[in-house]
């Protein structure tokens, strides 16, 4: 059986350094809400009063935003 003549695919162009830098900056900015949430968690968890639901929701939203930042950073440095 013969193999059909398929032209080779052209090599991928590397991503520009500017795009990588912008992705890096955006990813780091998106990490900030999660970092702030982690810093302030001990203040609420260590207090004798229960943590309000609105604070818990803010933590969840902050961690979701930070997950987007991690995804951007992974995408920026993936080859």
In tens, the pLDDT along 22-73 reads 999 999 999 999 999 999 888 888 778 888 888 889 999 999 999 999 999 9
In tens, the pLDDT along 65-74 reads 999 999 999 9
Q: Are 76 and 27 in contact (CB under 8 A)?
A: yes
Name the residue ranges covered by the structural domains of the chain. Answer: 27-77
What is the rounded CA–CA span in Å between residue 9 and residue 29? 37
pTM of the predicted model, to two decimals? 0.75
Q: Provide the pLDDT for residue 74.
A: 95
Q: Looking at the predicted structure, is the pLDDT value of residue 75 above 90?
A: yes
């Amino acid at each position: 059986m013969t193999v059909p003549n398929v032209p080779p695919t052209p090599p991928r162009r590397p991503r520009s350094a500017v795009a990588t830098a912008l992705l890096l900056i955006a990813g780091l900015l998106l990490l900030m809400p999660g970092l702030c949430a982690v810093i302030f968690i001990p203040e609420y968890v260590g207090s004798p009063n229960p943590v309000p639901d609105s604070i818990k929701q803010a933590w969840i939203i902050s961690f979701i935003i930070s997950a987007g930042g991690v995804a951007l950073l992974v995408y920026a440095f993936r080859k």
